[in-house]
C-alpha cells in the first residue's frame, strides 16, 4: 500500500486530510511540523506528502528544501496544501521542488483531482 504523509499543525486539518487520502487508497501518516516530518521521512520515505506552509519549528517550504536534499528525497510527490494563495507563493513552492499546489479551502474532489494530475491515482 502506498503511503501519504500529512504535514499540518492543525489536528483538524490532519484528520480531514487523513479521511480523504485513505479514501484514495493510501496509508496515512501524520506530522505536526516540518521537523517532525523530516524525522519521519528519514526513517521511512512516503510516496506522497500533503504539506502545509505555515507551521511552528520548521515551515513547509524549509521542509521541502531539506527533503529534496536528502538521499531519496526526490522520490515523494509533494503537494502543498495551504492558505498562502498568491501566485508568488505558488511559483516559490514550484521552484523549491513542489509537484502540485492546493489552495485552501480544499475538499476531497480537489485532492483527488491533484493526485490524478501527478499520477498518484
Q: What residue ranges bind other proteins (CB under 8 A)?
A: 85-87, 90-91, 94, 98, 100-103, 106, 109-110, 113-114, 116-117
Angstrom distance (rounded) from CA 2 to CA 65: 23
Task: Considering the complex, state which of residue 45 and residue 98 has its C-beta at the smaller distance from other proteins.
Answer: 98
Task: Considering the complex, state which of residue 63 and residue 106 has its C-beta at the smaller distance from other proteins.
Answer: 106
Class of residue 44 by CB neighbours under 10 A (exposed 0-12, middle 13-18, buried 19+):
exposed
User: Which residues is 77 bridged to in the sheet?
Assistant: 48
Angstrom distance (rounded) from CA 24 to CA 56: 29
Distance of closest approach, residue 71 Cβ to other proteins, in angstroms: 26
Task: Say if CB 42 and CB 70 are below 8 A apart.
Answer: yes
Distance of closest approach, residue 108 Cβ to other proteins, in angstroms: 12
Distance of closest approach, residue 9 Cβ to other proteins, in angstroms: 22
Distance of closest approach, residue 32 Cβ to other proteins, in angstroms: 25
Task: Considering the complex, state which of residue 58 and residue 90 has its C-beta at the smaller distance from other proteins.
Answer: 90
Task: Considering the complex, state which of residue 22 and residue 117 has its C-beta at the smaller distance from other proteins.
Answer: 117
User: Which residues is 49 bridged to in the sheet?
Assistant: 5, 78
Amino acid at each position: 500500500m502506498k503511503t501519504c504523509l500529512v504535514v499540518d499543525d492543525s489536528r483538524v486539518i490532519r484528520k480531514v486530510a487523513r479521511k480523504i487520502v485513505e479514501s484514495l487508497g493510501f496509508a496515512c501518516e501524520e506530522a505536526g511540523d516540518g521537523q517532525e516530518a523530516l524525522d519521519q521521512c528519514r526513517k521511512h520515505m512516503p510516496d506522497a506528502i500533503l504539506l502545509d506552509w505555515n507551521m511552528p519549528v520548521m515551515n513547509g517550504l524549509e521542509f521541502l528544501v531539506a527533503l529534496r536534499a536528502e538521499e531519496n528525497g526526490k522520490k515523494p510527490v509533494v503537494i502543498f496544501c495551504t492558505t498562502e494563495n498568491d501566485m508568488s507563493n505558488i511559483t516559490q513552492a514550484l521552484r523549491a521542488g513542489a509537484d502540485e499546489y492546493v489552495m485552501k479551502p480544499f475538499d476531497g474532489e480537489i485532492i483527488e483531482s491533484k493526485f490524478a494530475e501527478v499520477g498518484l491515482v
